[in-house]
Amino acid sequence: MLNYCSVITQITSNCMKKQEILSEYYKQLKIENYSEQTVKSYYSALKLFLDWIAKLRLDKVDDTAIKDYLYYCKSVRKHSYSSMKLVIASIRYFYIKILKKEIPEVLNIELRKPSILPMVLSTKEISKILQVTNNIKHKTTLVLIYSAGLRLGELLNLELGDIDSESMRIHIRGAKGKKDRYVMLSENVLELLKEYYKVYKPQKYIIEGLNGGKYSPKSVQSVFKRALKKAGIKKKASVHTLRHSFATHLLDEGTDIRYIQELLGHKRLETTRIYTHVSSYSINKIKSPADKLKI
């Protein structure tokens, strides 16, 4: 049995021990049924932490060492709020599940969440993007994401059987948090899918690569960036902006925020509430005092 409590301070002298730690870490995450993305993210984050310890040849990994690492991640690697959350969570999991030790006090911190509003495109701008996207596969890809508020990974995982044209809904399987959900299937999207099927004849996934199998996330990002440029839109938008726009446009139309929460697959309503800050639904109901001026 590997003595992890002593191994963590001996990583510099024995590379195999580091691999054993990472192997046990990976196994534990898989046993606890974490999603593939979470396993990959946690594993990578811990590996970077262990590499950093090894590089500095630390004799003891204490609160000071961990604090220095967190400072390094923030100041040198320029980690975002989300990345810092991941780093802290991965090390906490390591101490609890692998080292079987209490969490170091330095990891019991609450990060201040930045108040950054999501970028949103107007329906006019999205129409422009779709109009300049002539390739039917590329157009279907972007329309699916916007019309159902999909995450990029959810789109790439969509299989032929997930499109239910009878009940006009799409089955999203194993989404974030390993949760399934249903979203609406637009009539316009169904017609586009029929045309797309005739041309590309996908075998398993809705959107497939040139040689079959899952389509590349980088390809989707490239398709979107080209369309954005071609449409003459200067906003700093990404594929995920289509999901933000979906939620905001539903809110603009007066859709109950709890329904939007379900459609997006959000665990907490607070996560969905951010769209109330970018929606014009409430803002447009308020009259500016300038309207009463004679200008």
Catalytic residue among 67, 240, 273, 281: 240
CA-nearest of 92, 217, 272, 274 to 84 is 92
CA-nearest of 16, 6, 12, 122 to 57 is 12
151 as an active site residue: the answer is yes
Catalytic residue among 128, 139, 244, 266: 266
Catalytic residue among 67, 74, 151, 181: 151
176 as an active site residue: the answer is yes
Tokens of 248: 């905001």
249 as an active site residue: the answer is no
Catalytic residue among 42, 93, 196, 275: 275
Catalytic residue among 176, 214, 230, 273: 176
Q: Are 181 and 175 in contact (CB under 8 A)?
A: yes
Give the integer Cα–Cα distance in Å for 163 and 186. Answer: 11
Q: Are 96 and 57 in contact (CB under 8 A)?
A: no
Give the integer Cα–Cα distance in Å for 218 and 140. Answer: 16
Measured CA to CA in angstroms, residue 10 lies from 1, 6, 22, 140, 289 at distances of 16, 7, 14, 53, 69
Catalytic residue among 17, 139, 243, 249: 243
275 as an active site residue: the answer is yes
266 as an active site residue: the answer is yes
List active site positions: 151, 176, 240, 243, 266, 275
